[in-house]
């Protein structure tokens, strides 16, 4: 899960990483109220999950109420690389003496954490990497060793951070590492990390990607789960605990396991069909899960046929078949359903489906045949 800047800064603050005081607002009036409370000058910043907001006009300094109003009016509704701004972060403006860069991320190849620091912050790091790669100092961090002040200071020094800022930068790096490590983030990036004229170092921007696999031990992440920005269908799927990704074809796909769901999409493509979605119902496929899956898929008007592809290992095919039959009694479905079940108790499952076979429900023995039939049915219905 990617956080907005203001959420990232709230997360930083929990781990002692210094950030400017600010308020998240959704209207021009609230932006004014926030600015009055914070004191001028303020910075008005677009909250979108994409970088380069400054260049796109999404970050503006405002010295008084009139300028704050103008900035908020200009930024709300602005389209930044396809992301429309609905929320602003108003923060007290900072005087900047120098702009640096710092990040922590996972180095999968090296099987370590990776810290990158540069004295050339404020510009896109990709640009620095391309034009002046030696300006980025890197440090591989063994998760068992962690990062101490001494190592952080040495890294900052290698990155050409001036002596006056070394202690401040090192402290931020150590706190930022705790945020990344204990905070279960896959990425924390600060660009710019600034030095103020009075010698303080603090984070002026925040990019944080949380590791969704760790969500179970972070109830405090719940309010950040941004269901609002999901497509209604994706939101419904998420609420039902299903892994759903919308695609633009017309064959709805339900499979158990992400691997099988992906293979099913591939096979449908191979036989000339177009998958309408990827949907993994996971292990076990009770009537409830099946009903939820069918419900999610049938809210997609593009779907002309549904392919259910289940391989029973621990999952028993006869239960899946009963699930489908029961689900059909609960959810109104007009698109024909083609089912392929194989594995544990497949014979019983086929018998159950045969009893309920109709125009809208048919079973075929192989994935290829089922994919072909579903794709044909979808084409006929176009």
Dist CA 49 CA 301 (whole Å): 29
**Shortest reach from residue 92's CB to ligand GDP, in Å:** 7
**Shortest reach from residue 252's CB to ligand GDP, in Å:** 38
**Shortest reach from residue 157's CB to ligand GDP, in Å:** 23
- Asked if 191 is part of the footprint of Mn ion (rule: CB under 5 A), the reply reads yes
For this structure, is 189 an active site residue? yes
Pairing of strands 243-246, 201-203: unpaired
Q: Where are the alpha helices (DSSP H) in the chain?
A: 5-14, 28-38, 65-75, 125-131, 149-158, 163-182, 232-239, 258-270, 287-298, 317-330, 346-355, 367-381
**Shortest reach from residue 176's CB to ligand GDP, in Å:** 16
Long-range pairs, 38-42, Cβ under 8 A, ≥24? 38/90, 38/91, 38/92, 39/92, 40/64, 40/65, 40/68, 40/93, 41/92, 41/93, 42/68, 42/90, 42/91, 42/92, 42/93
For this structure, is 101 an active site residue? yes
**Binds 319: which of ligand GDP, Mn ion, none (CB < 5-8 Å by kind):** none
- Asked if 91 is part of the footprint of Mn ion (rule: CB under 5 A), the reply reads no
Contact predicate 114/139, CB 8 Å: yes
Segment near ligand GDP (CB under 6 A), from 91-99, 147-155, 232-240, 323-331? 91-99
Q: Which of 5, 205, 295, 318 binds Mn ion (CB under 5 A)?
A: 205
Segment near Mn ion (CB under 5 A), from 38-46, 162-170, 199-207, 302-310? 199-207
Dist CA 121 CA 204 (whole Å): 11
Contact predicate 240/296, CB 8 Å: yes
Q: Which of 16, 21, 39, 52 binds ligand GDP (CB under 6 A)?
A: 52
**Shortest reach from residue 269's CB to ligand GDP, in Å:** 37
Closest residue to ligand GDP using C-beta atoms: 54
Contact predicate 193/126, CB 8 Å: no
List the end-to-end C-alpha distance of the chain, in Å, as a whole number.
Answer: 37
Nearest-CA neighbor of 46 among 99, 96, 82, 1? Answer: 82
Q: Which residue's CB is nearer to Mn ion, number 95 or number 369?
A: 95
Q: Is the peptide bond before 61 cis (omega within 30 degrees of 0)?
A: no
Long-range pairs, 53-58, Cβ under 8 A, ≥24? 53/80, 56/80, 56/81, 58/85
Q: Which residue's CB is nearer to ligand GDP, number 94 or number 263?
A: 94
Q: Which residue's CB is nearer to ligand GDP, number 205 or number 280?
A: 205
Q: Which residue's CB is nearer to Mn ion, number 185 or number 289?
A: 185
**Shortest reach from residue 203's CB to ligand GDP, in Å:** 9
Active-site residue identified among 91, 189, 295, 319: 189
Segment near ligand GDP (CB under 6 A), from 45-53, 67-75, 229-237, 286-294? 45-53
Q: Which of 120, 205, 280, 295 binds ligand GDP (CB under 6 A)?
A: 205
Residues 94-113 that bind ligand GDP (CB under 6 A): 94, 96, 99
Active-site residue identified among 4, 6, 11, 101: 101
Dist CA 159 CA 123 (whole Å): 16
Residues that bind Mn ion (CB under 5 A): 191, 205
Give the interface with ligand GDP as residue ranges (CB under 6 A). 43, 45, 51-54, 59, 61, 93-94, 96, 99, 122, 191-192, 204-205
Residues belonging to the active site: 101, 189
């Amino acid at each position: 899960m990617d956080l907005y800047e203001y959420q990232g800064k709230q997360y930083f603050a929990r781990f002692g990483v210094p950030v400017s005081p600010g308020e998240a607002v959704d209207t021009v009036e609230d932006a004014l109220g926030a600015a009055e409370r914070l004191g001028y000058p303020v910075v008005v910043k677009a909250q979108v999950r994409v970088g380069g907001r400054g260049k796109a006009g999404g970050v503006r300094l405002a010295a008084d109420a009139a300028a704050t109003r103008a900035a908020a009016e200009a930024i709300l509704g602005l389209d930044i690389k396809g992301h429309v701004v609905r929320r602003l972060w108003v923060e007290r403006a900072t005087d900047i003496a120098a702009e640096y860069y710092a990040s922590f991320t996972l180095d999968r190849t090296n099987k370590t954490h990776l810290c990158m620091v540069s004295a050339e912050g404020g510009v896109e790091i990709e640009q620095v990497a391309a034009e002046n790669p030696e300006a980025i100092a890197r440090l591989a961090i063994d998760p068992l060793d962690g990062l101490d002040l001494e190592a952080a200071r040495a890294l900052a020094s290698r990155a050409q951070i001036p002596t006056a800022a070394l202690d401040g930068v090192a402290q931020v790096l150590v706190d930022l590492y705790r945020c990344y490590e204990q905070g279960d983030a896959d990425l924390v990036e600060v660009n710019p990390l600034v030095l103020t004229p009075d010698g303080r170092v603090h984070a002026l921007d925040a990019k944080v990607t949380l590791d969704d696999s760790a969500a179970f031990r972070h109830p405090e992440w719940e309010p950040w789960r941004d269901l609002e920005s999901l497509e209604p269908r994706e939101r419904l799927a998420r609420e039902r605990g299903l892994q759903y990704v919308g695609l633009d074809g017309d064959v709805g796909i339900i499979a158990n396991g992400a691997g099988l769901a992906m293979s099913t999409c591939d096979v449908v493509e191979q036989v000339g069909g177009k998958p309408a979605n990827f949907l993994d119902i996971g292990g076990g496929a009770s009537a409830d899960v099946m009903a939820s899956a069918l419900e999610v898929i049938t809210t997609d008007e593009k779907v002309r046929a549904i392919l259910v592809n289940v391989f029973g290992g621990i999952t028993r095919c006869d239960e899946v078949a009963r699930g489908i039959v029961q689900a059909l009694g609960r959810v109104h479905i007009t698109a024909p359903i083609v089912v392929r079940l194989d594995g544990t108790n497949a014979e019983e499952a086929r018998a159950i489906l045969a009893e309920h076979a109709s125009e809208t429900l048919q079973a075929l023995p192989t994935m290829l045949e089922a994919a072909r039939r579903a794709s044909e049915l979808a084409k006929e219905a176009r």
